Structure 1
Amino acid sequence: MNVVAKLVAQRIALGLLLLLAASVLIFVGTNILPGDVAQAILGQSATPQALANLRAELGLNQPAYIRYFEWLGGVLHGDLGHSLTNGQDIATAIAGRLANTLFLASVAAVIAVPLAVTLGLIAVRYRDRWPDKLISAVTLTSVSLPEFLLGYIVIYFLAVQLRIAPSVATIYPGMSLFQKLHAVILPALVLVLVVQGQMMRMTRAAVLNLMQSAYIETAELKGLRPFLIIARHAFPNAISPIVNVVMINLAYLVVGIVVTEVVFTYPGMGQYLVDHVAKRDIPVVQASALIFAAVYIGLNMLADVISILTNPRLRHPK
């Protein structure tokens, strides 16, 4: 096995171990919460016998490690359990919500990634001049503001004052792609403002780090235009750290989307999770948290693999 294949296999194995550890933390965390699940479902007027019967039905009388392995075995077979509040199959209920979240995250990513990389290259081209300072100031401001505040600002100006898009981002089956895009334009804009700053600054820093290299000086001596040197010679060699930060922010778009979905009442995974946390629906919370963890770990693992594959020192060890 060559060096690249070995490193990729190690990253994948590490990702699976992290996901297993995350499943343990999620199960333990949801089971040490104060209160009684059976009491929360049946209410304060429930009789002791009814509470005992429900605990037996839910398996709450079994030791925690047995319940964990039963839950993990069900997850490995695609069975996420049933909701305690309405009895629905969790996997079926989550499928549509997850698709909505991925759609919103994809729209934001399609805008944020090219925009951040382009702004980063422009900042490098006009280093320490007014375009660089303006881009840095705007992106730093957008990153510093909390998501919920950005959301309410966007709603006030673009939905209430200018009426460009609806303040409630509702999508449902049967809508056309254009209708869906129009519905999610405001939450997508908030997500773009939140994540593009870090990607832009990493692009700028990674490219600037290479601008003093010998091959860059050679390209300058050949008379190539500055932006062509940056885009054709510096940027490809800075791709590894940029890919890492892009993947981390893409993971954030999926995992950290909860606040944005709540602000815009978007029917995604975040809203679904918040609704069932309030109802103390433990199986739904466990399943949602595990999916978020899998997405986050998976995208970070993909970033590591891409960094390995794009590293010429590993691909050509001699």
Structure 2
Amino acid sequence: MHPIIKLVSQRLALGLLLLFGASALIFGLTEALPGDAAQAVLGQSATPEALANLREEMGLNRPALTRYFDWLGGIVQGDLGKSLTNKLDIADSIGKRLGNTLFLASVAAIVSVPLAIFLGLLAVRFRNRWPDKLISAITLTTVSIPEFLIGYVLVYFISVKLGWFSSLAMVNDSMSIGQKLYAVALPAFVLTLVVLAQMMRMTRAAILNLMQSAYIETAELKGLSTFQVIARHAFPNAISPIVNVVMLNLAYLVVGVVVVEVVFVYPGMGQYLVDAVTKRDVPVVLACGVVFAAVYIGLNMVADIVSIVANPRLRHPK
């Protein structure tokens, strides 16, 4: 078997194992919560007979291990169950909301990834000079402020005071791409500010680490400009760590949008999860948790595979 195929197969197997472990952990944590779904549905005034009947109907009287494997089998077959609050199919609801979350994350990624790489290269080009210090100061400031605070500040000044954008990022299928982009402008800007700093600083650190190499000195002795040395020699060899941090931040854009979606009342996965937790809709919470875990593990696995393909040393660890 080819070494790359073998390594990719190992990473895929490890990803599936991690996803299985994550599903068990999510299910176990929901089981450890006080009370149960039947009590949440019927309320505190429910009679013992009504609780017993609903628990039997929902299968809560069966052992937890049996319910876990039944739930896991349904997920494998694409059946995420039905919501306790509105009796709608969870897979259909998640499909719509996941599309909205991916749209928001994509808009933020399209802006933040090229901008972070450009700012990282610019910071290296003017290392220890005012452009480098200014970029580092701004990015460190944005990453140090919680995203919900950035969101509320933008809502106050840009939406309330200036009236440029709506404070509610509502989107639907009838809207055009331009209307959707206008609606998600503020939450996408918040997400861009949050993930920009880490990607920029990793780009800067990875390239600076290579600037002391012998082949970089050789390129400089040949008379190449600093920008040519960075673009032609340092940056291609720094792709592996940069890809890792980009993928980690893309995973955050999808998984970590919960707070931003709640701030802007965006109809995505994060808002759906918060609503389910508030209503104690356990099947929805379980489904959202597994989807978030799958996205996070999947993107990390892609980053790992790309790093292996891009770096020959990782393909031959011995």
Q: Do they fold alike, i.e. is TM over 0.5? A: yes
Match of 2:107 in 1: 107
CA distance in structure 2 between the partners assigned to 1:105 and 1:32 by the alignment: 32
Secondary structure in 2 matching 1:11:
helix
Deviation at 1:86, TM superposition (A): 0.9
Residue 69 of structure 1 aligns with an amino acid whose one-letter code is F
Aligned residue for 1:149?
149
1:161 maps to a residue whose letter is K
Partners of 1:193 and 1:61 in 2: CA distance: 48
The amino acid of 1:162's aligned partner reads L
- Match of 1:209, SS state, is helix
Alignment of 1:1-318 (within 5 A): 1-314=1-314
Q: Distance in 2 between matches of 1:108 and 1:317?
A: 35
Name the amino acid aligned to 1:71: W
Q: TM-score, normalised by structure 2?
A: 0.98
Distance 1:55 1:128 in 2: 65
TM-score normalised per structure 1: 0.98
**Aligned partners of 1:228 and 1:154: how far apart in 2?**
39
1:2 Cα offset (Å): 2.7
CA apart distance, 1:226: 1.1
* Gap change, CA 1:121 and 1:74, over 3 Å in 2: same
Counting matched residue pairs gives 318
| Aligned residue identity for 1:198 | Q
Q: Which amino acid aligns with 1:225?
A: S
Distance across 2 between alignment mates of 1:166 and 1:232: 43
Query: Which deviations, in whole Å up to 9, do the C-alpha atoms of 1:167-189 show, x marking residues without a partner?
Result: 11000111000000000000000
Tell me if the contact between 1:4 and 1:314 (Cα under 8 Å) persists in the aligned partners.
Answer: no
Query: What residue identity is the alignment partner of 1:152?
Result: Y
Deviation at 1:314, TM superposition (A): 4.9
| Structure 1 CA distance for aligned equivalents of residues 117 and 17 of structure 2 | 33
Amino acid at match of 2:244: N
Q: Which runs of 4+ in 1 moved over 4 A?
A: 314-318
Counterparts of 2:75 and 2:203, CA distance in 1: 39
Structure 2: how far apart are the matches of 1:88 and 1:155?
A: 33
Residue segments in structure 1 that go unaligned for 5+ positions in a row:
none
Quote how far apart the aligned CAs of 1:148 are: 0.5
In the alignment, the residues of structure 2 paired with residue 306 and residue 47 of structure 1 have an alpha-carbon distance, to the nearest angstrom, of 57
Post-superposition offset of 1:312? 2.2
**Counterpart amino acid of residue 87 in structure 2:** G
Residue 30 to residue 316, structure 1, CA distance change in 2 (3 Å): closer
Q: What amino acid does structure 2 have at the position aligned with 1:83?
A: S
1:157 Cα deviation from its structure 2 partner: 1.8
RMSD: 1.3
The alignment-based identity, stated in percent, is 71
Q: Secondary structure at the match of 2:212?
A: coil
For residues 177 and 197 of structure 1, the distance between their equivalents in structure 2, rounded to whole angstroms, comes to: 28
The code of the aligned residue for 1:272 comes to Y
Residue 48 to residue 178, structure 1, CA distance change in 2 (3 Å) = same
Q: CA deviation at 1:156?
A: 1.5
Amino acid at match of 2:188: A
Q: How many angstroms apart in 2 are the aligned matches of 1:205 and 1:8?
A: 27
C-alpha distance in structure 2 between counterparts of 1:12 and 1:260, whole Å: 31
Aligned partners of 1:220, 1:182: CA distance in 2, in Å?
46
Q: CA deviation at 1:219?
A: 1.5
Q: How far 1:104 sits from its partner (Å)?
A: 0.1
Residue 123 of structure 1 aligns to a residue whose secondary structure is helix
